Amino acid sequence: MAPVSRPYSREQLIYLLTEAAELEHNILCSYLYSVFSLKSELEEGLSGREAEAVVQWRRVILTVAAEELRYLAKCFPRHRCRFSSIGSPHPK
């Protein structure tokens, strides 16, 4: 395994922390977008079996999205501290 490269400047740390926060936010948005993009009605062309499957998929994706949101809520104060510790404004 190759050694992990470490940021050497304050600017690199700020960039990497910002990228990590944006990535976490975008993943959550992707989960929510996928849930609300699923067809759900028989009138939308789904069979009864497909509609049942979609209900289960929606439940699973929402569970994952809720877990991701809890993770973000738990980690956001840490991100704020990390940004503050290197003298950078934290993301809103």
pLDDT at residue 84, as a whole number:
65
68, 28 in Cβ contact below 8 A?
yes
Model pTM score = 0.64
**Which carries the bigger pLDDT value, residue 51 or residue 92?**
51
pLDDT digits (tens, 9 = 90+) for 58-91: 999 999 999 888 887 777 666 566 666 666 665 5
Rounded to 5 degrees, φ, ψ at 47 are -80, 170
**Could you state, in order of their start, the residue ranges of all structural domains in the chain?**
10-85
Residue 56 has pLDDT above 90, yes or no: yes
Mean residue pLDDT of the chain comes to 80
